Amino acid sequence: MASTSRLSRVAPFSLIVLILAFSFKLKAQTPNQIRIEFKNAIDSKIFLASYEFNQILVIDSAFKDEGSEYRFNLSYALTPGMYMITNASKSEMYFDFFVDGNFPLLLSVDKNNLLQTLNSSSHKINRDYFALTQKWSHWNNVLAKIQSENNTKESTNKIAEIRKESLMYCDSMFKKNYTNLLGLMLKLKINPDVVTCICSPSYLGG
């Protein structure tokens, strides 16, 4: 009887442990999840949004956990394309990124240096895109410095070199087997205007 009594006391506890473990497993395997490690973020809540006819369309929101992570647990799969993260008032767009239909999507960034710290450990398309935006920023900074100086033949040649370098870099990113950024964008049928804009000389004041 003593043994039976001990079992009756242990069984409910074991059942609770199993339920908690199962719940944790379900939470860890939540489909369509976007997790963002957002260091130095002060917002208690952020929004996942997209552009819709030149307007920001809010899709979902996520609250900051005890650390610095936000989790979007979407009830449906997002259409592949470009999305953005904004603050709670939608007055500031922090960064944009691509969704390709594969989840979970893992992103990390530091609020104190958004451009240089953006990374995705799960999606190559975003790593390539972030690297491209970093290069555009660098080229634009160099161009701005050159254009603020005297308009000489040397500065004109430097500008031409930077534009040539940027176009060559863009060209190298496109492959017919869709392994690089622009190829992946085309494969996902992402808005052609986005593809054209990203590789346009106008990005460099052309």
pLDDT, tens digit (0-9, with 9 covering 90-100), for 108-118? 999 999 999 99
- pLDDT at residue 21, as a whole number: 46
Q: What is the mean pLDDT of residues 189-206?
A: 48
Say whether pLDDT at 9 is over 80: no
> Which residue is associated with the tokens 């240089």?
116
pLDDT tens for 133-157 read: 888 888 888 888 887 876 778 888 8
Segment among 84-98, 119-133, 163-177 with least mean pLDDT: 163-177
Q: The pTM is what?
A: 0.71
Residues in the chain: 206
- pLDDT at residue 186, as a whole number: 61
Query: Which pLDDT band, with edges at 50, 70 and 90, does 132 fall under?
Result: confident
70-97 as b/e: b if 16+ CB within 10 A: bebebeeebebbbbbbbeeeeeeebbbb
- Peptide bond connecting 104 to the previous residue in cis, omega within 30 degrees of 0: yes
